[in-house]
A and B are shown apart, each in its own frame.
Chain A
Amino acid sequence: MPASAADISLPVEPESVATLARWLEARADGLGLAGTTREALRLCAEEAATNIVRHAYPDGVRQARFLARIESNGEVTLAFDDDGIPFDPTRYVDDAQAGEIEDARIGGVGIRLIRGFASGIRYERVGTINRLVLAFERPAA
């Protein structure tokens, strides 16, 4: 594991999203992340973790846990592993948003945000594991 890597294992429950956010704040401090990179990291972490907690285990979590790992090697990457149902967000088809509030769709917004704020998204199914890797550009000092 690179010297600038750290990971955390969390139970699949809503409180873990906030726990992850606090943990990432400390990691972001350590990495000297600021501005838009830090904001993008926070938002994408929230969206990816919320997706796991709310949708990855439709039949119940059975004491499931998920893993988040942050690495910094020029760019910053944030990876998530979970053993929930297979879901590849890179293949999600995002239909155009309605123009009127009465017709607005609410689903899929989290994936739209990840696509908009992460500089790269990679997904692979490794055995029974969903592995999502999000990349974030780190502005030159």
Chain B
Amino acid sequence: MREWPAARSLGRPVAPDIERAIITVGDSYVDAVVGYRTWWVSLLEGRAFLSSVFIPSAKWLPGQDAVSRCCCRGDDQRLRRIPGACKDTCGIYAFHDYAHAFAARMPRSALTDLYGIRVPQESVTVRGQVYLWGKVKVHERGYRAEFARPAAFYADWKDERQRLRVQMAAQQFDVPLLEVS
């Protein structure tokens, strides 16, 4: 097994119970935090892309690391309309653990009714693991991070349409499909 030099974290020491994984970013390596989250999976001309559940305009593309956009600067007009939403809520969200991510289910109709979010009917959800690094805010049940990359998807589908999209996304994002235990 390869020996890695100690990874560098700035600021306060990282809590030992935070799940970590070494990943390669360009010509460097990162001792990334591992989080759990849900995405929308969509297909455009046979190419899969992911998007944030609450901000469908925030797209994740294969081969590209996701970078947080500061909504406080007004990139997202919809967020500006929600009182308090722009106050230090930026970042790529994930939960600490699988249980919290799986418990955070919200019907598509509730997203529309509560937040005015309209998701294309052909999009399906996928739950998975995500690597996080850069500035990472640690919360009681999750994280907000500056950079992120999908790490794995869960083979958790309810119909054939969802299975096909999740499998295609796993192949194009080059991530494993994990059995739900």
Q: Do A and B make up one complex?
A: no
List residues of A whose CB falls within 8 A of some B CB: none
